[in-house]
Amino acid sequence: MRTFRLLSFGLVAVLLSSCGYEQSSITGWNYNDPKNGGFQKAPFEEQETGPNLVLIEGGTFTMGRIEQDVLYDWNNVPRRATVSSFYMDETEMTNHHWLEYLYWLDRVFGLDYPEVVKKALPDTLVWRSKVAYNEPYVEYYLRHPAYRDYPVVGVDWLQANDFCSWRSDRVNEFILIREGILEHYVNQIGEDNFNTDAYYMGQYESGKRIEGVPDHDPNGTGYRRVKMEDGIMLPKFRLPTEAEWE
């Protein structure tokens, strides 16, 4: 009888000690418990929707030619394609958006690395045509305020990818400022600018307001930088795939 009581008391003690912590389903150890090393499981419901983005529900569709190939080229064979749900901009990137991008590049890199700004300039000569007079567009389309809400043109694939990287960093920087983790550091010059990958690796220190989010590591300082596992910062912006374009 005494043995039964001791075992029962021991079981109650174990249950009480683990109360308040979510446990691992494969090891039984507590998450977010400094006594167990502090491995964290951050609360997460769903990804924040970034600026100007809308959710596109994925699905399966027939990709390629769906009508009779009368010329028998066989260069667009139909096939089933599956696309996962993704986010897409509600509107096209405008001239004003691109000027915002160019302004940031010039402010940060213009003094020491002017070639960075030059590389991002759209090719305005795409407007020139032998059969049409488009010279006003060559000179005014990108920068005149009358065209600020028109889609930007003359941007190649590499420039668009660079823009996506820049936008990813600016959106994530804004999120960290909004959450009180970073201060609005306007004196970013040259290599001293916020970069998402550099922040994840602990290589960005400028504009730091606090060390980050609470840390349960018993050997830590009580705070740590934000990790991808926290779900605070957004995934990188990118160009759509061929299937997503369809």
- Look at residue 15 in the predicted model and tell me its pLDDT: 39
How far apart CA 192 and CA 205 sit, in angstroms, is 9
Which residue positions in the chain have pLDDT lower than 70?
A: 1-19, 65-76, 211
Decide: helix, strand or coil at residue 40.
coil
Decide: helix, strand or coil at residue 241.
coil
Report how far apart the first and last C-alpha atoms of the chain are (Å, whole number).
Answer: 73
How far apart CA 50 and CA 168 sit, in angstroms, is 10
pLDDT digits (tens, 9 = 90+) for 39-61: 888 888 888 999 999 999 999 98
Q: Which residues, in sequence order, are CB contacts of 242 under 8 Å at separation 6+?
A: 63
What one-character-per-residue DSSP string does 99-128 give?
HHHHHHHHHHHTTT-HHHHHHH---GGGG-
How far apart CA 152 and CA 4 sit, in angstroms, is 78
